[in-house]
Amino acid sequence: MTRWTGKPAYAQIADDYRVKILTGELPPDTPLPSESALMDEYGVSRIVARQAVGVLRNEGLIHTHTGKGSFVRSRSRMKRVAGERYRRRSSTAPFAGDAHRAGSRPDIEAASAPLAASLDVAQRLAIEPGDTVVRTTYRFLADGTPIQTSTSYEPLALTGGTPVERPEEGPLAGAGVIARMDSLGIHVDEAVETVTTRAPLPSETDALVIPTGIPVLTIERTLYAGETPVETCDIVIPGDRYALTYTIPVTDD
Partner DNA sequence: TAGTGGTCTAGACCACAAT
Partner DNA sequence: TTGTGGTCTAGACCACTAC
User: Smaller CB distance to a second copy: residue 75 or 105?
Assistant: 75
- CB closer to DNA out of 98 and 240: 240
Q: How far is 206 from 214, CA to CA, in rounded Å?
A: 13
Choice from 14, 21, 26, 44 touching DNA (CB under 7 A): 44
CB atoms near residue 56 (< 10 Å): 23
Residue 191, number of CB atoms within 10 A of its CB: 15
Q: By CB under 7 A, tell whether 46 contacts DNA.
A: yes
Which residue, 182 or 240, is less far from DNA as judged by CB? 240
Contacting residue, 14, 21, 26, 48, with DNA by CB under 7 A? 48
Taking Cα atoms as reference points, which of 236, 153, 235, 221 lies closest to residue 191? 221
**CA–CA–CA angle 240, 173, 83 (5° rounding):** 45
What is the pairing mode between strands 78-81 and 106-116?
unpaired
Largest CA distance in the chain: 75
User: Does 8 engage in binding with a second copy (CB under 8 A)?
Assistant: no
Residue (173 or 191) nearer to a second copy, CB: 191
**Contact residue for DNA among 15, 16, 20, 51 (CB under 7 A):** 51
What 8-state DSSP symbol labels residue 33? P
In the complex, the residues that contact a second copy under the rule CB under 8 A are: 15, 18, 22, 47, 58-61, 77, 79, 82-83, 85-90, 178, 188-199, 201-202, 213, 215-217, 223, 239-240, 242-253
